[in-house]
Amino acid sequence: MSSLTQTASMPEKHYLNNGTTLKSWLLTVDHKRIALLYLFSVLVMFTIGGIFAILIRLELLTPQADLVTPDIYNRLFTLHGIIMILFFLIPAIPGTLGNFLVPIMVGAKDLAFPKINLFSWYIFNLGVILAVAALVLGGVDTGWTFYTPFSTTFSNSNVILAGLGAFMAGFASILTGLNFLVTIHRMRAPGMTWFRLPLYIWSHYATSIIMILGTPVLAIAIVLIAVERGLGVGIFDPNIGGDPLLFQHLFWFYSHPAVYVMILPAMGIISEIIATFSRQRIFGYHFVAFSSMAIAILGFLVWGHHLYVSSQSVYASIVFSVLTMLVAVPSAVKMFNWAATLFKGSISFDTPMLYAFGFFGLFTIGGLTGIFCATLGLDVHIHDTYFIVAHFHYVMVGGVVMAFFGGLHYWWPKMTGRMYPEMLARIAAVATFIGFNTTFFPQFILGYLGMPRRYAVYPPEFQFLNICSTLGATILSIGAILPLFYFAWSFKYGRKASSNPWGSTGLEWQTTSPPPTFNFEETPVVDRDPYDYAHYYGKES
């Protein structure tokens, strides 16, 4: 049955009008409302992090430090990194789309632990407050990596405060992961077997494992920094008997898998979008699902590729290089399967699909440049240069942010019961793609030419490429800001959406837009694959 014949009318009662007081929002245990609370928090952080990014790009227009002093510049890139990674990229998809969709997609009424879910939002915001306090009280200048002994002994900035902020955000992330893991194991609707799960759920399953196993190590590393900095216990500073490299191992043991915490849910979104907008089953469903698990497991064994030139043993570096090469393979498998899904599809170009196409292009480059960095002899040269900066922005912005925005557009009708303005949205998607490439492509060249990262002052021969990059950043910021405005507008004034505007088979599209408080009028019974379009449209042969 085609759903396109449905009329667009909102249900009388849904989760958004089930209580309208501030209290009904701040004390809600409804995963959908908590998703919106998270959305608000992460978008505020995205805006702050974005303002820092613009200031960084403006400063780099000229080789001298003339817009801000080097001290301020160092604080800008540090907070840009801390905010964008720990307070935006890591929680963005799990906290918002994940919170909203995981229960609905498995056919449950809510997450396994609704109160813990609300609690995680509160401690996340406590982390936000600590990070903002660190900013207001004079900032932090250690880089988001907090390398020792600079962070423990030499920095005169609010290291402990910012570290505690990261610690809190990490706790929120552990609780979210725990909730998802238990929900996916225990709360699937009747008939929802493991291989009837949408690929988005598989990717969150893999992500949750990393969140639970990896994040405590970051917490330990931050506590150790506080202990050395505050109490003078020698852990990392060799002058008091510590080992400066130990921190890098602890830090990257979490922070490399954290990259997969960001990218795996993004890949899950892309799978859903590709299936819906080509109206067919994802090619090689099992391989896409297992590749997520392979990435999650292998991802824990590659942290040492951040330490090739740190004086780590050559033999350790060789092992880390092999494993890093191997972790590239499951990502490639996903790319091939997505491309194959388009073959003989029924493809439409709605905004979410444009973001998915953008993801294709940017993630391909982001992933392949990862191989440059994994290659031992080559990484010696490009390590800590703008090449790395470009590489991880291609993965983090080109991959995660493109997918996040694609997902927001895709599920916006479900979350709010309203459509976004299609034309403006397409303009934003294209502006983001063009602006992004103009900003970050020159940085690959800049990096290979030898410009180190975290430089407020640089030799004049690098200026031309830096100007290109800053010009691109202005286009990129238009692409990023535009959706914030039309989403806010659409929330109140957007055209009403039908329950299934895209004609998708997903379980979340079989309930009303917006869904009722307990998601479904009655518990759904699942009797087929997640992407069975032939059945859904009555075209079984």
Partner 1 sequence: MFDFPLIPEQASSYAGDVDNIYFFLVAMTAVMAFIITVLVIYFAARYHRKNVDEIGSGPHGSVKLEIIWTIIPVFVVMGIFFWGTSVFYTIQKPPEDTIEMWVVGKQWMWKFQQPNGKREINELHVPRGQAVKLTMTSQDVIHSFFVPAFRVKQDILPGRYTTVWFEATKAGEYHLFCAEYCGTNHSKMMGKIIVQEPVEYAEWLVSGGTAQVAASSDPTEAGLEMFNALACNTCHKEGSSGLGPTLNDLYGSEEELADGTMVLADDTYIRESILNPAGQIVKGFQPVMPTYQGQVTEEGLTQLIMYIRSIGGELPADAAAESEAE
Within 272-311, the residues that bind partner 1 by CB under 8 A are 278-281, 283-287, 308-311
Q: Choose one: 217-225, 454-462, 485-493, 516-524; the region binding partner 1 (CB under 8 A).
A: 454-462
Q: Indicate which single residue of 22, 423, 522, 539 sits in contact with partner 1 (rule: CB under 8 A).
A: 539
Shortest distance, position 451 Cβ to partner 1, whole Å? 8
What gap in Å lies between CA 474 and CA 432, rounded to an integer?
Answer: 10
Compare residues 35 and 335 and give the one whose CB is closer to partner 1: 335
Compare residues 109 and 454 and give the one whose CB is closer to partner 1: 454
Q: Is the dihedral of CA 155, 161, 162, 168 positive or negative?
A: positive
Per CB under 8 A, 378 contacts partner 1:
yes
Does residue 442 contact residue 465 with C-beta atoms inside 8 Å? yes
Shortest distance, position 194 Cβ to partner 1, whole Å? 17
Per CB under 8 A, 441 contacts partner 1:
no
Q: Indicate which single residue of 455, 486, 489, 518 sits in contact with partner 1 (rule: CB under 8 A).
A: 455
Q: Choose one: 14-22, 63-71, 193-201, 484-492; the region binding partner 1 (CB under 8 A).
A: 63-71
Per CB under 8 A, 332 contacts partner 1:
yes
Per CB under 8 A, 133 contacts partner 1:
no
Shortest distance, position 536 Cβ to partner 1, whole Å? 8
DSSP 8-42: ----SS-TTTS--SHHHHHT---HHHHHHHHHHHH
118: which 2 tokens?
């609300």
What gap in Å lies between CA 457 and CA 174, rounded to an integer?
Answer: 39
Closest CA to 441 of 476, 478, 402: 476
Does residue 141 contact residue 74 with C-beta atoms inside 8 Å? yes
Compare residues 191 and 459 and give the one whose CB is closer to partner 1: 459
Closest CA to 18 of 6, 33, 3: 33
Residue 171 vs residues 116, 164, 167: alpha-carbon distances, Å: 11, 11, 6
Per CB under 8 A, 115 contacts partner 1:
no
Compare residues 97 and 362 and give the one whose CB is closer to partner 1: 362
Does residue 227 contact residue 235 with C-beta atoms inside 8 Å? yes
Shortest distance, position 530 Cβ to partner 1, whole Å? 12
Q: Is the dihedral of CA 117, 121, 123, 124 positive or negative?
A: positive
What gap in Å lies between CA 37 and CA 57, rounded to an integer?
Answer: 30
Per CB under 8 A, 325 contacts partner 1:
yes
Per CB under 8 A, 365 contacts partner 1:
yes
Q: Choose one: 158-166, 233-241, 425-433, 510-518; the region binding partner 1 (CB under 8 A).
A: 233-241
Question: Which residues inside 144-183 make contact with partner 1, applying CB under 8 A?
Answer: 145, 147, 149-150, 153-155
What gap in Å lies between CA 9 and CA 146, rounded to an integer?
Answer: 52
Does residue 439 contact residue 473 with C-beta atoms inside 8 Å? yes
Q: Indicate which single residue of 357, 392, 404, 433 sits in contact with partner 1 (rule: CB under 8 A).
A: 357
Per CB under 8 A, 19 contacts partner 1:
no
Does residue 291 contact residue 282 with C-beta atoms inside 8 Å? no
Closest CA to 516 of 34, 4, 32, 9: 32
Q: Indicate which single residue of 238, 488, 495, 528 sits in contact with partner 1 (rule: CB under 8 A).
A: 238
Shortest distance, position 540 Cβ to partner 1, whole Å? 11
Per CB under 8 A, 344 contacts partner 1:
yes
- Residue 72 pairs with which residues in a beta bridge? none
Three-state SS for 263? helix
Q: Choose one: 124-132, 200-208, 218-226, 353-361; the region binding partner 1 (CB under 8 A).
A: 353-361
Per CB under 8 A, 198 contacts partner 1:
no
Per CB under 8 A, 412 contacts partner 1:
no
Shortest distance, position 154 Cβ to partner 1, whole Å? 5
Per CB under 8 A, 460 contacts partner 1:
no
Omega into 501 within 30° of 0, i.e. cis? no
